[in-house]
Amino acid sequence: MSLWEYANPQKFTRTASALLPYVGGLAALCLAVGLGWGFFLTPEAANFGSTVKIIYIHVPAALMAINAWLMMLVASLIWLVRRHHVSALAARAAAPIGLTMTLIALVTGAIWGEPMWGTYWAWDPRLTSFLILFLFYLGYIALWEAIENPDAAADLTSVLCLVGSVFAVLSRYAVNFWNQGLHQGASLSLDKEENVADVYYQPLLLCIAGFVLLFVALVLLRTRTEIRARRLKALIARERMG
């Protein structure tokens, strides 16, 4: 029993269909409890007011925006090395989700930034990095859409994902160098003591778990859709050949 068995499209589709209700349900549960807890049952912070509660969407979305790209990078590498089509389609499926997460992080950030910093947008390193990440997602998706041959598209987007990852990291450092911004440090980290206070921390973890599960569910769903679309194409081609 090897993990690569799931690279078989049929097996993947069956497994994904079986898993989807559970993952989706668990995601809904985590998000409902986490967001409810975070929005209604936590005290208002003295210096931030109620606006701080947007972190329950902002932080998980920002995390997933980056992790979606990492997942695409891994899936692209698997496609380039092992030529499993499902892997390429999973990378393709994850891109619009990552794009949406980036957009959510940017928009919630802007909404939060207005009362906090008095502006919707500032050319702060973190904000700027996310804007660049947004452009990377757009380019990646546009390249997938532009190329007709699915294998060539998978190859070229994988190469772009690899090169883009290097440049994304480079941009992150360049932007840091360019402007030391006003964004606070990471909200979560394992080695730092000054994390957000515990009352906010627990629902936040739950929300992050919810977003991760939501991402997994959406990737499973969209990959299944991509596989079916590809199969449809294959069947149409077969029909034409008589």
In the complex, the residues that contact other proteins under the rule CB under 8 A are: 8-10, 85, 132, 135-136, 138-139, 142-143, 146-147, 149-152, 155-156, 159-160, 162-164, 167-168, 170-171, 173-175, 177-178, 227, 230-231, 233-235, 237-238, 241-242
Q: Which is nearer to other proteins, 22 or 173 (CB)?
A: 173
Cα–Cα distance for residue pair 23/30, rounded to 1 Å: 10
Rounded to a whole number of angstroms, the minimum distance from the CB of residue 111 to other proteins is: 25
Rounded to a whole number of angstroms, the minimum distance from the CB of residue 226 to other proteins is: 12
5-38 residues labelled b (16+ CB within 10 A) or e (exposed): eebebeebbeebeeebeebbebbeebbeebbebb
Tokens of 31: 């998000």
Q: Which is nearer to other proteins, 74 or 147 (CB)?
A: 147
Beta bridge partners of 45: 49
Closest CA relative to residue 61, chosen from 198, 210, 196: 210
Q: Which is nearer to other proteins, 170 or 186 (CB)?
A: 170
What is the enclosing helix (H) or strand (E) of 15?
Answer: helix 9-40
Cα–Cα distance for residue pair 120/240, rounded to 1 Å: 54
Rounded to a whole number of angstroms, the minimum distance from the CB of residue 195 to other proteins is: 31
Rounded to a whole number of angstroms, the minimum distance from the CB of residue 136 to other proteins is: 5
Q: Which is nearer to other proteins, 189 or 225 (CB)?
A: 225
Rounded to a whole number of angstroms, the minimum distance from the CB of residue 76 to other proteins is: 13
Q: Which is nearer to other proteins, 57 or 88 (CB)?
A: 88
Tell me how crowded residue 150 is: count the other CB atoms within 10 A of its CB.
18
